[in-house]
Chains A and B, each alone.
Chain A
Amino acid sequence: MSLSAEREATTSEAAAEISGRWSSLAKELLATRRVVIGLAIILGLIAMAWIGPMLSPWGFDERDFTAFRSPPTADHWFGTGNTGRDVFHMTMVGLQKSILIGLCAALFTTVIAALVGAFAGYYLGFTDRALMWVTDLFLVLPQFLILAILYPVLRDQGWLVFVLLLACLMWMVTAKMVRGMTISLKEREYVLAARYMGVSHGRIILRHILPNMSSLLIVDATINVSSAIILETALSYFGFGIQPPDVTLGSLIAEGSRQALAFPWTFWFCTGLLIVLVLAVNLVGDGLRDALDPHSKSRT
């Protein structure tokens, strides 16, 4: 075999093996059973939340005056509430909102955390001290309390503002981790190379440092989805969360828990769905951590 033919053979082999970041990520994920199961459950819940209301014979606001607080029947799959509203339809709409809140809040949280952490870790010095000080301050402020105090203002703002605020109070721990990783990443050759090529600081952070910790960010975003859903539930329980006419699983649980003994179907269906949702998200997060983290022990 001639030398050039051999070289050609190796390059074509290498091209077949080396795949892009995203396709190798996808391959890694699909090989992890927990992630697949978790994703399947989440997709199932999403499908249920958006298709379910269409199948239900009852409307969201519709009341059944012949059946107040009726247990599950063929007509009302999850029973009816105090005012004769169909619990199945309300639960599905609540599930939609909870999923949306979880995803959006996690996305915002991770973006804030990545930016604050990366800038603090990259510049160090004064920027770092100032940003970390703000982080510490936010860590001291009890997030539940601040959201509860802000409730009179938030009441009339709609759920997106609420989600933004939720994100503003959840980013701190991730930011500290991102900062730690940035400090070690910024010494790497490719960052120095980019620096010597004259790439600006901001661009280095966005194009070189953050993509290189994408696995940490993805895992953390997943975890944040479940913490956002849980925090929203807690706030809604005390009436400081999403306001009617919007419903979430949290506000349904709040309503149901006061009569969990007498009318269990108003409590257990929404609670069960919430637990399944959070479990599935945590399952994905846990599996992702194992799949993406080269140091993870459970891989071996």
Chain B
Amino acid sequence: MAKFLVRRLLSYLVLIFLASSIAYLIAATTLSPRAYFEQQQPPPSDQAIERQLDKLNLNPETPLAERYATWVAGVAVGDFGQTITDQSVNEAIARKAGVSLRLIVAGTVIGATLGVAMGAYAAVRQYGRFDRVTTVAAFFLLAVPAVVVAVTLQVIAVWINDVSGMRLLEYGGEYSANLDAGFWGTLLDRVQHAILPTMALSLSLFAAFSRYQRNMMLDVLGSDFVRTAMAKGLTRRAAMIKHALRTALIPTITYFTFTFGILIANATFTEKIFGWHGMGAWVVDSISTQDVNAVAAVTFFMAVCVMAASFLSDVLYAWLDPRVRVS
């Protein structure tokens, strides 16, 4: 099993490297950093632009291969270069990665756990009231783009705040600036800000997972081994959780790997709409400021996230499915 995981890890490293290289190459050919400097006020002189472009390794006059080699040499020693405003990309990553990770981890854990639990329960009570309600809710949520979910949540938050006459829910930024309210006050402030974005992210995840888990669970429920488990004297609950749910989780984990990319894209929208300064919001801004190094760094970050999720699901898979562990 350790060998299986190590082999997967190695192939993931190669994929991460390739994905960020491709992103760098595409970004370096399509974005035009020169245009960014040219539209500055007052417009810098040609030599100044040239000097700045050379310094940042962004000059389109330098052959692409050479720029790429410089970039790779930097990345190999852990340096992602400079942003277009000549600040360290590494520092920006350190500042922003945490924001994104908090959002993604909280959203994933809440959305996936709730989705799996509710989907499994709905399957056990197939065609019951709970099943009908969650099916309709999930079906509806799946049809709503993440962007619309986020904007709708904002509209609802404004309404709730108006009705209650207080600022119960915050819908812009990650925390209030210059807040001095001690530890608990700061924590409360953070939670107030985090509720809506986390909800926006976990809602769509919840919808996808509850649908999928329900179908998988239905496939398993009729199996002989579940009946046998109950026949040998296990309670219905124990048979459902230990035998049915455990088996039905295996395909869901594969599904998780596939949906994680979509989740990261959704995190981008959520950050941008709720004004969180995370990696996702950064990449949208970087594309409009023609910032090649930042775009490549964010792609690297996202590829690492996707791979971490895949690795996690490999581990979970091996844990749930004895056949993987043995062979």
A and B found bound together: yes
- Please tell me which one of the listed residues A136, A137, A234 contacts residue B147 in the complex, with CB atoms under 8 A apart: A234
Instruction: Find out whether the CB atom of A275 lies under 8 angstroms from the CB atom of B298.
Output: no
Question: Which of A68-76, A87-95, A112-120, A149-157 lies at the interface?
Answer: A149-157
Cβ-neighbour of B30 out of A150, A271, A282 (below 8 A): A150
Q: Are B155 and A260 in contact (CB under 8 A)?
A: yes
Please tell me if A100 contacts chain B, counting CB pairs below 8 Å.
Answer: no
**CA–CA, A267 to B269, complex, Å?**
17
Q: Is the interface of A mostly helix, strand, loop or mixed?
A: helix
Partner-contacting stretch, out of B91-99, B102-110, B257-265: B257-265
Could you tell me the distance between the alpha carbons of A260 and B149 in the complex, rounded to whole angstroms? 13
A-contacting residues, B207-255, CB 8 Å: 215, 218-219, 222
Which residues from 16 to 74 on chain B have a C-beta closer than 8 Å to any C-beta of chain A?
16, 18-19, 22-23, 26-27, 30-32
Instruction: Name A154's closest neighbour in chain B (CB-CB).
Output: B30
- Considering only residues 58-108 of chain A, those with a C-beta below 8 Å from chain B are none
Nearest chain A residue, comparing its CB with the CB of B301: A142
Taking CB atoms, residues of chain B closer than 8 Å to A275 are 140, 143-144, 148
Tell me, yes or no, whether B130 is within 8 Å of chain A by CB: no
What per-residue 1/0 map shows which CB atoms of A130-171 lie under 8 Å from chain B?
000000110111111110111111000000000000000000
Q: Does B100 contact A (CB under 8 A)?
A: no
Contacts between chains A and B (CB distance < 8 A), count: 119
A145 in contact with B302 given A137-B18, A137-B19 (CB within 8 Å): yes
Known: A153-B30, A233-B145. A141 touches B284 (CB 8 A): no
Q: A238-B284, A260-B155 are in contact. Are A152 and B30 (CB under 8 A)?
A: yes
20 contacts between A and B (CB under 8 A): A136-B15, A140-B16, A140-B18, A142-B264, A144-B268, A149-B287, A149-B295, A150-B30, A151-B30, A233-B147, A233-B148, A254-B147, A257-B148, A260-B151, A260-B155, A261-B155, A275-B140, A275-B143, A275-B144, A286-B139
User: Which residues on B are within 8 Å of A, measured CB to CB?
Assistant: 11, 15-16, 18-19, 22-23, 26-27, 30-32, 139-140, 142-148, 151, 154-155, 158, 215, 218-219, 222, 258, 261, 264-265, 268-269, 272, 283-284, 287, 295, 298-299, 302-303, 306-307
Q: What are the 6 A-B residue pairs with the smallest beta carbon separation, nearest first?
A: A278-B143, A144-B265, A279-B143, A297-B218, A233-B145, A257-B151
